[in-house]
Amino acid sequence: MRTRPSKYNISGKLWGTDHHFLMNVLSGSADILTREEHEALESDPEAARDLMEEKGYWVDPEAEKKTFRAQYLEFSAAREREELQIFYTPTYACNFACGYCFQSDYAHPSERHDAVVTAFFDYIDKAFQGRRKYITLFGGEPLMPGEAHRAHIAAVVDGCRERGLELAVVTNGYHLLDAIDLLARARIKEIQVTLDGLAEAHDSRRPLKGGGSSFDTIVMGVDAVLARDLPLNLRMVVDRENIDELGKLAHFAVERGWTSHPRFKTQLGRNYNLHNCQASQGHLYDRLELAKAIAELAKRVPEVAKFHRASFHGARYLFDNGELPDPTFDACPACKSEWAFDASGRIFPCTATVGVFGEELGRFHPTVELNEERIAQWQDRSILTLPQCKDCEVNLVCGGGCEAIGRQQHGAEWSPDCRPVADILGVGLAQYFVDDL
Ligand code: SF4
Ligand code: SF4
């Protein structure tokens, strides 16, 4: 058997240190090397051949192809068993005027909901029969007030309850307090709320339409959700303008007892340019800059690590579990484990495309119509079909990224959304492992 370096080896430097790393998600190996070890390996790779073979960094290419195929089959089978996330958008209207909203010019479906909600559940009952699934209310703002709108939401909540489906909600949080009883008629999987910092910063980035503060009202909503022991996912959208708010919000969340609640979790969203949003782009982070900014802040502000533990492309997973996550052959769940429906009766691939003219894949109301060819194209997208991804050394970690971002960046469909995987791993490994070195 003649071995050679695996095409899936990922190597890089631990950010801010002299150490290097070598990783291979197909073989499941990960090693941190001192500068001396790294230099020795570079200058005489043959000397470490036995060890490198044992760890799967050097492989017989034919055997590696077989492993790749076997793991791809496992990935595909696991995806078939995965729970479906089905988004339902009752409205694209919103009571906020966030500067970075990508939906602000979407058309608003009418409020006559009865037939639409019935058709929605009829469709998912048949199309996704036998699949584990849950419904996520999305918007716009799905918890807008008003009798007609709340009757619309009640129909969705009751449809979930009747079927035993869990319900998630993505909301700006302003009307959480007055909607919580209604939502809790179903089993709540998660309520996602966004705060972009403490009051002043949050209110300037996420003002009510026509002006006015939303911070205190949202905080009361978060308190109420946690008081009922419902799962709360607090999302913060981060860019250069509000990065310091992350430390302040983390401190606030710790003080308020949120971070010690077992059902509280957080998510950091990178503010990025999608569709028509972002008049000024200078304050946006790229992925690596954001990773470094979070890691730097976590060093300075201890509460940040209690508030949010970034995944850094599997570095956190490795730290927590002592092993690498499985390979990702496809990072885009659209039309595989994710679908999005709106109240105009249209079907879309996912949240980034829902409501975008030209992205619809068909209708569930008033008649069922599907563009099967288009759906198949979404379902085929993976590192095996994107030409740029096939021979990319980080493909099994990156998974080809997000199609919506890829097409935005490249101006063409079925485009890769490249991520600086090795550099971000370098930041993450330094963050999680550097004390242990
Ligand atoms: S296109 Fe992007 S946002 Fe949509 S499902 Fe794929 S990864 Fe997610
Ligand atoms: S999207 Fe770019 S970085 Fe990701 S696997 Fe494809 S080519 Fe590699």
pLDDT tens for the 437 residues of the chain, in order: 689 999 999 999 999 999 999 999 999 999 999 999 999 999 998 899 999 999 999 999 999 999 999 999 999 999 999 999 999 999 998 888 777 766 666 655 555 789 999 999 999 999 999 999 999 999 889 999 999 999 999 999 999 999 999 999 999 999 999 999 999 999 999 999 999 999 999 999 988 888 889 999 999 999 999 999 999 999 999 999 999 999 999 999 999 999 999 999 999 988 765 554 444 566 889 999 999 999 999 999 999 999 999 999 999 999 999 999 999 999 999 999 999 999 999 999 999 999 999 999 999 999 999 999 999 999 999 999 999 999 999 999 999 999 999 999 999 999 999 999 999 999 999 999 987 65
C-alpha 137 to ligand 2 mean position (Å) = 31
Which of 384, 392, 423 to probe ligand 2 with, by most ligand atoms within 8 A of CB?
392
Ligand 2 pocket test, pick from 329, 388, 393, 415 with the greatest ligand atom count within 8 Å of Cβ, gives 388
Q: 333: helix, coil or strand? A: coil
Cβ of 401 less than 6 Å from ligand 2: yes
Nearest-CA residue for atom 6 of ligand 1: 332
Cα 288 to Cα 313: distance, rounded to the nearest angstrom: 11
**Contact present, 230 and 179 (Cβ < 8 Å):** no
Instruction: Tell me which ligand sits closest to the C-alpha of residue 399.
Output: 2
pLDDT of residue 437: 58
Instruction: Please give the structure tokens belonging to residue 32.
Output: 């941190």
Residue whose pair of structure tokens reads 């009798």 in the numeric block: 147
CB-ligand 2 contact for 197 (6 Å cutoff): no
Is the Cβ–Cβ distance between 265 and 220 less than 8 Å?
Answer: no
Structure-token pair, residue 75? 């990935």
Within 8 A by CB and 6+ apart from 409, the residues are: 415, 417
Task: Please report which ligand is nearest the Cα atom of 419.
Answer: 2
Task: Give the atom of ligand 2 at the shortest distance from the alpha carbon of 395.
Answer: 5
Between the CA of 406 and the centroid of ligand 2 the distance, in Å, is 10
Q: 383 alpha carbon to ligand 1 midpoint, in Å? A: 14
Q: Is 314 in the pocket of ligand 2 (CB under 6 A)?
A: no
Mutate to test the pocket of ligand 1, among 338, 347, 417 (most ligand atoms within 8 A of CB): 338
| CA distances for 289 relative to 196, 207, 244, 284, 337, angstroms | 18, 27, 14, 9, 30
- Residues 124, 87: Cα–Cα separation, whole Å: 11
Task: Say how many CA atoms lie within 13 Å of 66 toward its Cβ.
Answer: 4
Which ligand gives the minimal distance to the CA of 407? 1
Q: Which residues line ligand 1 (CB under 6 A)?
A: 332-334, 338, 349-353, 402-404
Q: Is 23 left (phi over 0), alpha (psi -120 to 50) or beta?
A: beta
CB of 388 closer than 6 angstroms to any ligand 2 atom: yes
Q: For residues 231 and 168, give the distance between their C-alpha atoms in angstroms, rounded to a whole number.
A: 9
Ligand 1 pocket test, candidate residues 350, 375, 398, most atoms within 8 A of CB: 350
Q: What is the largest CA-CA distance in the chain?
A: 74
Would the CB of 406 count as within 6 Å of ligand 2? no
Sheet of 29-33, strands arranged across: 10-13, 20-24, 29-33
One-letter amino acid identity for 147?
E
Q: Indicate which residue's Cα is closest to atom 2 of ligand 1.
A: 402
Distance CA 325, CA 350 (A): 24
Q: For residues 318 and 432, what is the distance between their CA atoms, to the nearest angstrom?
A: 9
Distance 62 CA to ligand 1 centre (A): 33
Q: What is the pLDDT of residue 279?
A: 46
Tokens 């991804």 belong to residue:
389
Output the pLDDT for position 270. Answer: 82
Residue nearest to atom 5 of ligand 1 (CA): 334
Give the other-Cβ count within 10 Å of 432's Cβ.
20
142 touches ligand 2 (CB under 6 Å): no
Q: Which residues of 88-106 are buried (b: 16+ CB within 10 A; e: fewer)?
A: bbbbbbbbbebbbbbbbeb
